[in-house]
Amino acid sequence: MPGWSCLVTGAGGFLGRKIVSLLVQEKELKEVRALYRVFRAKHREELSKLQTKTKVTVLEGDILDAQCLKRACQDISVVIHAAAAVDILGAIPRQTIIDINLKGTQLLLNTCVEASVPVLIYTSSASVAGPNSYKEGIHNGHEAEHHESTWSDPYSYSKKMAEKTVLAANGCTLKNGGTLRTCALRPPYIYGAGSPVISTTVNTALKNNGMITNVNALSLINPVYVGNVAWAHILASRGLQDPKKTPNIQGQFYYITDDTPHQSYSNFHYTLSKEWGLCLDSRKSLPLSLLYWLGFLLEIVSFLLRPIYNYQPPFNRYLITLSNSVFTFSYKKAQQDLGYEPHFSWEEAKQETSEWIGSLVKQHKGKLNTKTQ
């Protein structure tokens, strides 16, 4: 491992930025290449501040650009593929999501073979395992159970197919005669400062007199802190480069969770934000079965209007199922094979995330004050 180098795709995203920030602390790492389509100015600044003994090279380019990937993979030891199009409401065209998540992954794998990159770690998702029904959840699921999503929505479908492609590529012969070694990591709902989901949830609540919508009281999830997901990627990159550990890890997928308490989405968001005055909406919501079929009707309306108008429903059957299921996983296999233990405690994760939520609340109040002046 001395003098190794790493390419991180999706490096300007929520998880990608955290992976880069932990990577630069690796003693033997000589260079991190951070690839993203277009970096925000503040994220570019963050990356420039990470310069230590490890060189941080910022690259802007499309995951579907073969020439860009060829340049990015030149003389690289490890690729961490965290780039993805995430959408479960239909805001992004279906083919765009499949192109980025599946075709982009296939193109990157081909590039790794041509550039003789020996290690690729794929950031998958627990959504490739389901949930397929809110009536039949998964409690403390593990890898040997082989859960698989049956949804045709573009996100979970493309992530599932991309993961299969990555794991099937393990053992491929590289151009220089070496062997490609791969694995995939499946985190569930990732949280932390900068989370797009929490940002949307908090801002929506602030527009609703501080009320957090409580439509998923029956769900049970184990959210995972972004820092712990990033840490698992670091351990996987170490493991796949270590001949002693490699046979156990090659071609495997791992659920990556931590010790965040299992609870519903609504209760979790309330736990993180109650310090800032946000509260749960106590009004009763529609029965779950009715919401499910209403989602189905909205999907039909969206489909019928598609030739003349791009109607985006506020929810669909997949979202209703995802947000109202028992859906928890164990990290024992990652613990056994990768040596994974949560790098950040629940208290650390909660404090950092809550402080960031506080900054969102203050920003909102500042805007309101400006308008009233």
Which residues are known to be catalytic? 159
Burial 107-136, CB ≥16 within 10 A → b, else e: bbbebbbebbbbbbbbbbbbbbbbbbebee
Side chain identity at residue 321, one-letter code: T
Gap between the Cα atoms of 74 and 72, Å rounded: 6
DSSP string, 163-215: HHHHHHTTTPBPTTS-B-EEEEEE--SEESTT-HHHHHHHHHHHHTTTEEP--
DSSP string, 281-293: --SPPPPHHHHHH
> Both tokens of residue 60?
């802007």
The terminus-to-terminus CA distance of the chain in angstroms comes to 60
User: Does 131 sit behind a cis peptide bond, omega within 30 degrees of 0 on the bond before it?
Assistant: yes
